Chain A
Amino acid sequence: MTLDSIKPGQGGIIASVGGQGMLRRRLLDMGLTPNTKVYVRKVAPLGDPIELFLRNYVLTIRKEEASKIELKEVFNE
């Protein structure tokens, strides 16, 4: 299951972060590291990007980027 495929209100634990270069590094720097708990809060009105909640703050990333984040556990808030 990847982060872009879960519904708002659901959350998960990150298994791995794919992609490469600047994008991947940015995701890791912002705290999207393996074993981190992350929730999807909202989808933007036009269907993209999505709003996340992790490490006690709110982050927004595009679905394309979220699709590179693999989750190992999915749960409802």
Chain B
Amino acid sequence: MKYVIALAGNQNSGKTTLYNALTGSNQHVGNFPGVTIEKKEGQIKRFKDASLVDLPGIYSLSPYSLEEVVTRDFLLKEHPDLILNIVDATNIERNLYLTLQLMELSIPMVIALNMMDEVRASGNSIDVMKLSKHLGIPVVPISASKKEGVSELVEVAIKTAQEKRKPVKLDFCTGEVHKAIHAISHLIEDQAKEAEYPLRFAATKLVEGDELTFKELKITESQTHIIEHVVEDMEKALNTDREAALADMRYSYIEQICRDTVIKKQETREQIRSEKIDKVLTHKYLGIPIFIGIMFVIFWITFGAAGAFLQGYLEEIIALATDYVANLMESYQVSPWLHSLVIDGIFAGVGSVLSFLPIIVILFFFLSMLEDSGYMARIAFLMDKILRKIGLSGRSFVPMLIGFGCSVPAIMATRTLASERDRKMTIVLTPFMSCSAKLPIYGMMTMAFFPENAAFIMIALYIMGIVVAILSGLLLKGTIFKGEPVPFVMELPAYRIPSRKSVLLHMWEKAKDFLQRAFTIIFLGTIIIWFLQSFDWSLNMVEDSSYSILATIGSLIAPIFIPLGFNDWKASTALISGLTAKEAVVSTLSVLTGTVTDLELSTALSTIFTPLSSFAFLTFTLLYMPCVAAFAATKRELGSVKNAVLTAMYQTMTAYVVGMVVYQLGNLFI
């Protein structure tokens, strides 16, 4: 017999820590069907037959947020053998709110009462036995971070699943709510059975006016009338509406349990410490400068000091490997096309992408620290007002900021966003931030055309990226991403020292994810570009890439850029090869113009561009679709090729329109 155990709980309740403690390295990360919400599944250590599914961190089973619907669907339709509900003991009132809703599903359930060490350390206590008796389900006190109580928890969980011990039906509702739930239960009993909905859960949801339940149970029109009548009576008698009545009923019951089981003398040490830390970190005047400082240090280490050093190191190793393989192939006299495929195609393409690995690993080290320590929530608190105007919340700030370094980890970092809508919009907007790979292009162009005002042009480009993202956000907010934005109602968890295991695991997951992509979609992409660059239409290998398929495509699309002020196959070809990595724009231009030194390149460029059209070209490179690595990340995070292609098309269109406006307006004034 194989057991499926679903791990459910609030955000910040230590769910990930417990998940990592329970499962070993044997886990599988995917998405829930149809949505890009992460689904982790792993085997419980020492119990081969039990697998643990990590459900999204949620606060309620309401029908509004996607995370809640996903959790609900999983619990109702996949019929797990047990719900393992993790409850933060330091914040027990709000955590039990979800517990009461989970209990209605009549699936065997065990509560892991986490952070009991913190409760005890501050002189408070919880009567676990009494709590278990009140709720009618086993409660195991644990400390996931210290691994206390974890093995007992597993034993109790397996035993409860084996015995199929469902939560005893408990009536925590009284009076009018009870009457309504009772009446509706009778009315819909058969339909609930047919739809395989737990009766109690179905009735409660119908009282709440949950549309999903109405649909799934196929409630008839006449039944709807009766339900409406019953609920209206309840509302009148209680002098409140249905949603408030049920929330109030649950919280009243929880307060009653807590009065009986929780002995509280003071705030926990962690809470007191957090309050003190926040006196500085979210201080009225110091808060934002400190945030900028922290981000500066992270950027400096990632893209400057350590990252660049390791990247250079890795590049050298890749170069050595390339040389070794090249020599090997020469000594075996393999055909020139194979030699070119391996060296110029695979090694050059995948190698240049691979060299990003150190940056990604380091960046995700810092990101996990920010997230796990609790500071990420404070960043959202500090920055919310700025991002609200374009329909996003403060949480989107961090991915966008990382976008200035590299779009790939930035897009990967959108995983931390709780709302699906915010996540998608952030993914679309982030590549407008000028990533570090675009710097060499700016350098090349400003040197040739604006040597006096290089800094000014670069700053203008950075600002333009931000402005376009803002305008684009406003546009998207009113069109594709219309609808109710997710409300900004967010917990500020107590600061905690991140666990080493969870930080390392997070880094490893991201590195693995990136490597997988480097050897699949990016591998394929570079081979295609290499092919186009190395062959002509009769499939003969070309010496000079100006006769290649890519060059013909380049000259074919070159006229498209006339409104942007440049019409040269070399420029359009460079833009295409820039898709492998943005720096490639520079190398391609230098190869195609046959120049070696910077001075020669500058002279050659002045035959292709005017100063104004060079600026339009820069505008286009700033905004058009990101490189294959970022495209692959977009595809992964948006969950479909179609959406990724649409995103790329949107970005390229934007680049084209803005580039044209720049050139045409410029022509009017110059």
Contacts and interface: CB of A to CB of B under 8 A. Distances in A.
A48 interface: yes
A57 B244 contact: no
A59 B492 contact: yes
A33 B487 contact: no
Contact of A48 (B60, B274, B278, B385): B385
B67 to A, nearest CB: 12
A46 B386 contact: yes
B251 A36 contact: yes
B384 A58 contact: no
B488 A42 contact: no
A60 B388 CA distance: 14
Contacts of A16: 240, 244
Interface string B492-528: 1110000000000000000000000000000000000
A16 to B, nearest CB: 8
B267 interface: yes
A1 interface: no
Interface string A38-67: 000011111111010001111111100100
A27 B248 CA distance: 12
A17 B65 CA distance: 20
Interface string A14-25: 001100011111
Contacts of B370: none
A59 B490 contact: yes
A37 to B, nearest CB: 11
Contacts of A44: 282, 287, 381-382, 384-385
A42 B282 CA distance: 9
B62 interface: yes
A24 B127 CA distance: 33
B381 A60 contact: yes
A55 B93 contact: yes
A49 B62 contact: no
A56 B267 contact: yes
A49 B97 contact: no
A26 B487 contact: yes
A30 B58 CA distance: 11
A56 B385 contact: no
A29 B60 contact: yes
Interface string B270-283: 01001000100011
B77 to A, nearest CB: 23
B489 A65 contact: yes
Interface residues of B, number: 45
Instruction: Report, as a range, how many residues of chain A touch the other chain.
Output: 35 or more
B597 to A, nearest CB: 49
A17 to B, nearest CB: 6
Given A21-B484, A59-B489, A59-B490, A29 B382 contact: no
Contacts of A48: 384-385
B244 A34 contact: yes
Interface in B548-572: none
Nearest to A35: B248
Interface string B236-267: 00001001100110010000000000001001
Nearest to A22: B64
B76 interface: no
A69 B380 CA distance: 22
A17 B115 CA distance: 31
B636 interface: no
A25 B208 CA distance: 10
B288 interface: yes
B287 A22 contact: no
The interface centre, meaning the residue of B94, B267, B486 with most chain A CB atoms within 10 A of its CB, is: B94
Interface string B140-175: 000000000000000000000000000000000000
B282 A51 contact: yes
Contacts of B284: 43, 45
A34 B249 CA distance: 11
25 contacts: A21-B484, A25-B60, A25-B62, A25-B64, A26-B62, A28-B244, A30-B491, A31-B93, A31-B251, A33-B244, A34-B240, A42-B278, A44-B381, A45-B288, A45-B382, A47-B385, A48-B384, A51-B381, A56-B271, A59-B492, A60-B377, A60-B380, A60-B489, A62-B388, A62-B487
Interface of B: 59-60, 62, 64-65, 90-91, 93-94, 97, 240, 243-244, 247-248, 251, 264, 267, 271, 274, 278, 282-285, 287-288, 377, 380-382, 384-386, 388, 484, 486-494
